[in-house]
Amino acid sequence: MSRKFIRIALMLIILGVFALTGCDADEGFEPNLDMEEILANAGPGPTETPAAPELPGSSAIPEYPIEIPPPPCSGGPPPEPEPIPEPTPEPTPTPEFRHVNIPILMYHTSSEYNPGALPELYVRPSEFERQMVWLIENGFTFVTFEDWDYLYRIKRPIMITFDDGYIENYTEIFPILQEHNVTIVLFLTWMAIAGHGFTEDMILAMHDSGLVVFEAHTMTHVDLRTVGTQRLRHEMAETNRLIEELTGRMPIALAYPGGRFNDAVLAMTAEYYRFGLRHDLGMHNTAFDNFQIRRIRINRSTGLDTFIRLVTQ
């Protein structure tokens, strides 16, 4: 076999390997072969090829396997596939909101010996303290409207509310709150600052303690059903402005004076507040209307046994 024929065969083999590996001349390997030139130089076919001269010391071309290196592709071997990242686990969903029962207690004021003209409003301080201690010992948690959206996470929530704004809220009730770390909501009638002896300094001291949250009870404690739209708006908006100006916090709840309301009052309340409270109907469930929140009235005549029955019904 002639050397030229072997060269042609080698070139064809290299080209075949080149094609199988997927290399492209554009990738940097250019064999620089002109097939017409190779064929022209190849001369006659195998039957016409003259015998090749023997090399010194060798009578024939040795036959041995020819190893053909892979073509020098500039890109090298194909890249390893990128590992598929593990999917990020979904966060554990928080429990869905659940409606719960919550006792919301309504007080007004307190006096041990001199109940005044409306004696049932004046719960004895000693009785109020007994009630609070019982709640603490039985695992109740004192809450405000700031906790409303999370009541279902709170163990035995209960809300203590006082209406109007009497001086005894400061002189009689506030020391008990401090002694037992009890939090309450006080619905303030702004004119009570003058009429009931309550002062702005008292309000600030109670607010700054973190134990008393002030909400709205209108400017003048008027029956809201009996006033026009302009007066109704003033009773709410002006109360909010003054409470926020004094305490730095805007009220989010309104206790209807006397527990009285109608459709117009409810509609206006929804413009200024998240919650509206009445006086009656007992235990509240958060599935009920947020603008007709029920309360349990606690009077001077409410003994401890009755109190326990009311908060656990």
Q: Is residue 93 domain-resident?
A: no
pLDDT tens readout for residues 185-228: 999 999 988 888 899 999 999 999 999 999 999 999 999 999 99
Q: Are residues 58 and 203 in the same domain?
A: no
Q: Is residue 67 domain-resident?
A: yes
Q: Are residues 42 and 117 in the same domain?
A: no
Point out the domain boundary residue: 82, 115, 147: 82
Q: Are residues 184 and 274 in the same domain?
A: yes
Collect all residues with Cβ–Cβ distance below 8 Å to 251 and sequence separation of at least 6: 214, 215, 216, 239, 240, 243, 244, 273
Mean of all residue pLDDT scores within the chain? 83
- DSSP letter at 120? G
pLDDT for 29 equals 43
Whether pLDDT at 238 is above 60:
yes
Amino acid identity at 81: P
Q: Are residues 134 and 246 in the same domain?
A: yes
Point out the domain boundary residue: 82, 110, 142: 82
Residue 41 tokens, joined: 């130089």
For residues 5-15, give the mean pLDDT. 66
pLDDT for 194 equals 80
pLDDT tens readout for residues 80-106: 666 666 665 555 544 556 899 999 999
Q: Is residue 123 domain-resident?
A: yes
The CATH number of whichever domain residue 247 belongs to comes to 3.20.20.370
pLDDT for 75 equals 53
Point out the domain boundary residue: 55, 82, 109: 82
Half-sphere exposure in the Cβ direction for 112 (13 Å, CA): 6
Q: Is residue 96 domain-resident?
A: no
Q: Are residues 295 and 214 in the same domain?
A: yes
Q: Are residues 70 and 215 in the same domain?
A: no
Q: Is residue 70 domain-resident?
A: yes
Residue 215 tokens, joined: 């909400």
Q: Are residues 114 and 244 in the same domain?
A: yes
Q: Which residues pair with 184 in a beta bridge?
A: 212
pLDDT for 25 equals 43
The secondary structure of 56-118 as a DSSP string is TT-SSPPP-PPP-PPP--TT-SPPPPPPPPPPPPPPPPPPPP---EE-EEEE-EE-SS---SS
250, 272 in Cβ contact below 8 A?
no
CB atoms within 10 A of CB 162: 24
Q: Are residues 276 and 144 in the same domain?
A: yes
pLDDT for 197 equals 87
Q: Which residues pair with 293 in a beta bridge?
A: 277
Q: Are residues 1 and 118 in the same domain?
A: no
pLDDT for 196 equals 82
Q: Are residues 115 and 59 in the same domain?
A: no
pLDDT for 7 equals 67
- The reported pTM is 0.70
- Rounded Cα gap, residues 78 and 30, in angstroms: 19
Q: Which domain holds residue 70?
A: 1-82
pLDDT tens readout for residues 263-310: 999 999 999 999 999 988 899 999 999 999 999 999 999 999 999 999
For residues 136-153, give the mean pLDDT. 97
pLDDT tens readout for residues 40-66: 554 554 444 445 445 444 444 445 454
Q: Are residues 169 and 236 in the same domain?
A: yes
**Pairing verdict, β 122-123 and 212-216:** unpaired
**pLDDT band for position 116 (50/70/90)?**
confident
Q: Are residues 76 and 109 in the same domain?
A: no
**pLDDT band for position 313 (50/70/90)?**
confident
pLDDT for 55 equals 47
- On the 0-12 / 13-18 / 19+ scale of CB atoms within 10 A, 284 is buried
Whether pLDDT at 6 is above 70:
no
Q: Is residue 92 domain-resident?
A: no
Whether pLDDT at 13 is above 90:
no
For residues 160-180, give the mean pLDDT. 97
Q: Is residue 88 domain-resident?
A: no
For the chain, the domain total comes to: 2
Residues in the chain: 313
Q: Is residue 270 domain-resident?
A: yes
pLDDT for 87 equals 63
